[in-house]
Amino acid sequence: MREYTKFYIDGAWVDPAGGAQLLDVINPATEEVAGHVSAGTAADVDRAAAAARRAFASWAVTTREERIDLLQRIIAEYKRREIEIADAITEEMGAPRSLALRAQTGSGLAHLEAAVAVLRNYAFAEEQGTTRIVREPIGVCGLITPWNWPLNQIACKVAPAIATGCTMILKPSEIAPFSAYLFAEVLDAAGVPAGVFNLVNGGAAAGAAIASHPQVDMVSFTGSTRAGIEVAIAAAPTVKRVSQELGGKSPNILLEDADYPTAVAAGIRQVMNNSGQSCNAPTRMIVPKARMMEVSRLARDAAAAISVGDPATDVSMGPVVSATQWGKVQRLIKKGMDEGATLIAGGPGLPDGIDKGYFVRPTVFADVTNGMTIAREEIFGPVLSILGYETLDQACEIANDTDYGLAAYIWGTDPSQIREVAARLRAGRVSLNGSTGDSLTPFGGYKMSGNGREWGAFGFDEYVEIKAVMGFSNAP
Ligand code: NAD
């Protein structure tokens, strides 16, 4: 049982201001309580904001080398505790061991390393005629993160915030807070100066207190579109910057000349990865109508190869994160059946041989039309919808006919055609034939998928203000 009830404020582990109000953290594979964190209140956020404000005065004026040095100490400490962090992720959100270690914990490390690489050359100042353009740290940052890729999302905010000279309050997801707690221990052991990084746990109330706080200069939020909108509304009266990484319903277009066995198998694996709980999952596979039967057969075979079970063992898919999420996924699977889509793999209920835990059967629907609920709503579970198109124009139209615009995927062999389709899609990340980019590739979405970009140098830009000093080179 993990009792992570303190907060990390001003360089010390402290008790919550109003006494501990405990939140249960459930292991989704067993449905049992795995530990507790405390629910932070506005008073805790006040305390963290004051500490971050005090620390800003000195951290903002540190040199590039001092920040690189700190990030390197964090990296060393993080590497030392990788296995422990991965175990915490498996326990809190059900990622199978190998996924938890390689992709989940590994992506956190990759963002820390990317921050060092970017920081070495990031242009904090440049000349434009006689004007000097300076990029200064924006101030105290509120970082609010979700449970699905917990350390990926924490590291891709904390690393650029530290690198640009900002101070911060992190409020991780109350559903998966264990790995965040270990991350705070890593920062503490690495010697982050008091007040530069603060951790307050809790749910929507703590998040809302950060979003509206007058001493918080910007909020970087990752989570649902619903909560992202609430954060922006709460932030508006203080005119702070709000960066949002929200939901998705990403299209995956298979062009006529694509390698179908490879593309379909890759599409299935990507949707089922992390139990379908990735904002950029390619959840709408858009294929020529005439090839719906062939694609369905390939998809059924690929789904059958996905093993589901105890995430502590060597399976491809663990449970979804919570009872709420399980219920939502079940409702949407039934909705797909009711609305007339053809169920070709999986379906409602627990997978065979499993009687406890929030496990979902890898599910695939064919003959989906873009008006159906399963083509419009983000399911955030292992469910793929396959839609048919007759012309290339129609494929692009279906792809863009969504409220979201985070990612898009295209498979084909004619380079000029896939590039032309890429240019027509309204999405922040377009992957051609399975390319994944790296941790310097900008991450973020069009439309209701969010505002702003994270990762690499684009992520740094979120954390700086731009100052134009005119007449700089003429100054006496
Ligand atoms: P969520 O929106 O419920 O919670 C996200 C975070 O916001 C949590 O820390 C939560 O405590 C906090 N929160 C909730 N309501 C709040 C409020 N009113 N004010 C301030 N903070 C609030 O999302 P979730 O269930 O944790 O994550 C799943 C969602 O996140 C999915 O919709 C997914 O697509 C999205 N997501 C997007 C990205 C991306 O980069 N675009 C990445 C991961 C997840």
How far, in Å, CA of 213 to CA of 168, rounded? Answer: 13
Alpha-helix residue ranges (DSSP H) falling in 165-203: 178-189
pLDDT tens-digit readout, 288-316 = 999 999 999 999 999 999 999 999 998 99
Contact 283, 379 (CB under 8 A): yes
This model's pTM is above 0.85: yes
Residue owning the nearest CA to atom 36 of ligand 1: 223
Q: Is the confidence at residue 44, as pLDDT, over 80? A: yes
Query: Best mutation site among 279, 322, 455 for ligand 1, i.e. most ligand atoms within 8 A of its Cβ?
Result: 279
d(CA 449, CA 406): 5
Residue of 37, 41, 44, 222 with the most ligand 1 atoms within 8 Å of its CB, for mutation? 222
CA pair distance 398, 391, nearest whole angstrom: 11
pLDDT at position 264 is: 98
Residue minimizing CA distance to atom 23 of ligand 1: 223
- Average pLDDT of the residues in 360-373: 98
Q: pLDDT tens for residues 152-211?
A: 999 999 999 999 999 999 999 999 999 999 999 999 999 999 999 999 999 999 999 999
- pLDDT tens, residue by residue, 251-264: 999 999 999 999 99
CA of 171 from ligand 1 middle (Å) equals: 11
Q: Domain 251-439 adopts which CATH fold?
A: Aldehyde Dehydrogenase; Chain A, domain 2 (3.40.309)
Catalytic residue among 141, 156, 166, 279: 279
Q: Where are the domains of the chain?
A: 2-246+449-469, 251-439
Ligand 1 atom at minimal distance to the Cα of residue 230: 18
Cα–Cα nearest to 231, from 451, 22, 21: 451
| Best residue for ligand 1 mutational test, from 41, 173, 325 (most atoms within 8 Å of Cβ) | 173
Is 279 known to be catalytic?
yes
- Which one of 91, 185, 245, 454 is the catalytic residue? 245
pLDDT higher than 90, residue 20: no
Give the architecture (CATH level 2) of 2-246+449-469: 3-Layer(aba) Sandwich (3.40)
Q: Say if residues 266 and 431 touch (Cβ distance below 8 Å).
A: no
Q: Residue 224 C-alpha to ligand 1 middle, in angstroms? A: 4
Residue with the nearest Cα to atom 8 of ligand 1? 173
To the nearest whole number, what is the mean pLDDT of the chain?
A: 97
